[in-house]
Structure 1
Amino acid sequence: METMTAERPGSSLRPHVKAFKSTAIASVLEENGHSSFCCATIREIEGMIEAGHKSDLLLANETLDASRLGSLVESGARVTVAVDSEATVKVAAEAGIKEVLIDVNVGLPRCGCSLSEVEDLATLAKRHRLGIRGVMGYEGHLMFTADKQERSMEVNKAMEILSQAHSIVGGDVISAGGTGTFDINKFATEIQAGSYLFMDTRYAQIELPFRECLSVVSNVISIEHDRKWAVTNAGVKAIGMDYGKPKVEGSIVALCSDEHSTLFPPEGNEKTALEIGDVVMMKPSHVDPTIAKHPRILCMDGEYIIDEWPIDLRDW
């Protein structure tokens, strides 16, 4: 956290709540000078408002639920919504939303309007009396580009698209980026990053100054007769695996099923050294969906639990 805050102090970082889904962690971030937050779901924004984090919340995702958006407006919180189509503009206006960001596609095959649509969309938003704070564009397709020079070059290309959009739309906010481009993206006024807090094995493959510190606690529940493998009680229902299997120090994770993971001994060893009952710390490949599967995070200093953070922003 200190490393990111030093690089991106205050409002130049908009922490992404989807990564940690905890108002307790949001409070820690706020204590470190970050009072604007990025959310992926309406539930995240609702929970942040309930916990008193109201000063600047961005729903960085398109939604067609005018009723729930309207309830956010009634709370008195400052809520900005990303829009990328006529439909999302009209829903935001119907809900009483006051401010929007024009979401522009900068290369990731996901949400965002094309550059050719930006002017018409901005005109429509103004016609519906929506204030345009600026633009948003997520270069997510570049987060894991291994070569930093190549990553930097491609980010600049993506941000050129967003720059052109901003020249059309105007506004004070240029929202982009993530953990993988936090120190490369020099164009954005704010970076939407969240994984940096805990990291995962996927992000660990590129050069970043953050430490992996999230593990899922499991236990060995079975040992094969000839000790060829051990089985833990944590599988795909406990660990996000869209980026690959988790890693375990001193073992090879061979396969994972709903409630189990099978661990082979490391190369050069024929038998596992694990015993039934052993605690096994499993490092996930993707922090966001892993955290969303659990009710709490235990903060540990060595073998001691020093704090507990409820994961209270799950669901949609």
Structure 2
Amino acid sequence: MLVSQVETPALIVDLDSLEENLCLFKEQAEKTGIAMRPHFKSNKCPAIVHKQIEYGAKGITCSKVEEAEDLIDCGIKDVLIANQIVDKGKIASVATLAGRCHLGVCVDNAKNIDDLEAAAAVQDNIIYCLVEFEIGMNRCGVTTKEELYDLAAKITAYPHLRFEGIQAYAGHLSHEEDFEKRQSASDEVEKKLTEAKEYVESKGIKVKEVSGSSTGTVFFRPKGSVYTELQAGSYVFMDVAYGKLKLPFKHSLFVLSTVISTENNKIIVDAGRKSAASDQALPIFLEYPDIPAKVSEEHTAIPKENRDVLVGDRLHLIPGHCCTTVNIHDSLYLVRKGEIVDRVAISSRGKSR
């Protein structure tokens, strides 16, 4: 089937561009010696995840217990939930899932560690723990190297927990458009993390992993970086927000739309905010990237002027934010050279628990 025959709005992925992005990320990881642990939140699609594993990812990062379960059900053997899991029912689920794969979670307080050990002991399984370290995002995480050591020591003392290392996601730098500022701040993150890691190790506890980084900062990681894992996710698809950073990754994710009206000197398509997320930036047309669009719930419009566009033509919207766009759709079409290769489920869509 030709992509032009798909009913719209439809989420489509250009496989050639996707695979170029996978290659580029792999080359960067190999050049720096840092392992790839891409984030599931950006695609929520096992078919994409298996391609990431095929291209060398050691494991997958996710945010929610439901996402971890989906990944494990699909055969992923190494999963990190880069979040604090504190609800007793969810902790019990984590303890059970830990018997099916190498499963990690993030922690930043002593009570959570106690609860994880108690649940893991019931199942007689091992849960791998990363202590989250606050490096500027002002969200979760301990703020001092002394707190980091104290939690690492507490984890190490428990028989059903393993101290895996440090979670350090500098999300506040991900979309910083000023290149020099983004690079300088990334260098400061490296320095702060190195000091924290050396402090913990000086007191006798090995820090195996330092996990984090994002699509916007992955090229700032030097060879010999303190980071051992890269959690970038959006690199596979890209979007308008990341496009502003002029990264070498290509746009591979689009919302295919149909022109439904050219009246009143406007080109209007049948896809809007309910099809292409706009929480970080407004979507733009691939065919007219320099023309700002007016976006409503079900429509996107640009001035027609002298553009040769007819009712029924297909146009490609680049989402403002790929992660939240994926979470709107049940499936996506894999496309190569204008033909549909497959339709695959976005099986973790809406899995937010």
* TM value normalised by structure 1: 0.90
Q: Deviations over 1:30-65 (max 9, x none)?
A: 2222231111111111001111112x2110011213
RMSD over aligned Cα, in angstroms?
Answer: 2.1
- Residue 200 of structure 1 contacts residue 286 of structure 1 at CA under 8 Å; is this kept in 2? yes
Shift, 1:152, TM fit: 2.0
| Cα distance in 1, alignment partners of residues 218 and 152 from structure 2 | 27
| Cα distance in 1, alignment partners of residues 267 and 80 from structure 2 | 45
Shift, 1:272, TM fit: 5.5
Match of 2:239 among 184, 200, 205: 200
Aligned to 2:171: 140
Aligned to 2:135: 106
Structure possessing the higher relative contact order (Cα contacts under 8 Å, 6 or more residues apart): 2
| Cα distance in 1, alignment partners of residues 91 and 331 from structure 2 | 27
| Cα distance in 1, alignment partners of residues 131 and 28 from structure 2 | 26
- Residue 143 of structure 1 contacts residue 181 of structure 1 at CA under 8 Å; is this kept in 2? yes
Aligned to 2:323: 288
Q: Percent identity?
A: 30
Shift, 1:87, TM fit: 3.9
Aligned partner letter, 2:187: N
Aligned length: 309
Aligned to 2:256: 217
Q: Deviations over 1:62-102 (max 9, x none)?
A: 12133233334334211110111234323322331522001
Shift, 1:280, TM fit: 1.8
Aligned to 1:85: 109
> Which stretch has the larger CA shift, 209-218 or 25-34?
25-34
- Residue 25 of structure 1 contacts residue 309 of structure 1 at CA under 8 Å; is this kept in 2? no
Q: For residues 163 and 275 of structure 1, do their structure 2 counterparts lie closer, same or farther at Cα, with a shift above 3 Å needed?
A: same
Instruction: Indicate yes or no: 2:179 matched with 1:156.
Output: no
- Residue 333 of structure 2 contacts residue 344 of structure 2 at CA under 8 Å; is this kept in 1? yes
| Cα distance in 1, alignment partners of residues 115 and 301 from structure 2 | 48
Instruction: Indicate yes or no: 2:303 matched with 1:303.
Output: no
Match of 2:147 among 110, 117, 125: 117
- Residue 35 of structure 2 contacts residue 58 of structure 2 at CA under 8 Å; is this kept in 1? no
Instruction: Indicate yes or no: 2:277 matched with 1:277.
Output: no
- Residue 19 of structure 1 contacts residue 194 of structure 1 at CA under 8 Å; is this kept in 2? yes
Aligned partner letter, 2:58: S
**Matched residue of 1:297: which SS?**
strand
Q: For residues 275 and 45 of structure 1, do their structure 2 counterparts lie closer, same or farther at Cα, with a shift above 3 Å needed?
A: same
| Cα distance in 1, alignment partners of residues 85 and 127 from structure 2 | 15
**Matched residue of 1:68: which SS?**
helix
Aligned partner letter, 2:256: V
| Cα distance in 1, alignment partners of residues 180 and 297 from structure 2 | 39
Aligned to 1:173: 209
| Cα distance in 1, alignment partners of residues 218 and 187 from structure 2 | 13
- Residue 11 of structure 1 contacts residue 36 of structure 1 at CA under 8 Å; is this kept in 2? no
| Cα distance in 1, alignment partners of residues 241 and 185 from structure 2 | 19
Shift, 1:127, TM fit: 4.3
Match of 1:36 among 43, 53, 59: 59
**Matched residue of 2:80: which SS?**
strand
* TM value normalised by structure 2: 0.81
Shift, 1:240, TM fit: 1.5
| Cα distance in 2, alignment partners of residues 69 and 144 from structure 1 | 32
Shift, 1:273, TM fit: 3.8
Instruction: Indicate yes or no: 2:108 matched with 1:71.
Output: no
Match of 1:126 among 146, 152, 156: 156
Aligned partner letter, 1:183: F
| Cα distance in 2, alignment partners of residues 17 and 206 from structure 1 | 22
- Residue 240 of structure 2 contacts residue 282 of structure 2 at CA under 8 Å; is this kept in 1? no
| Cα distance in 2, alignment partners of residues 142 and 11 from structure 1 | 19
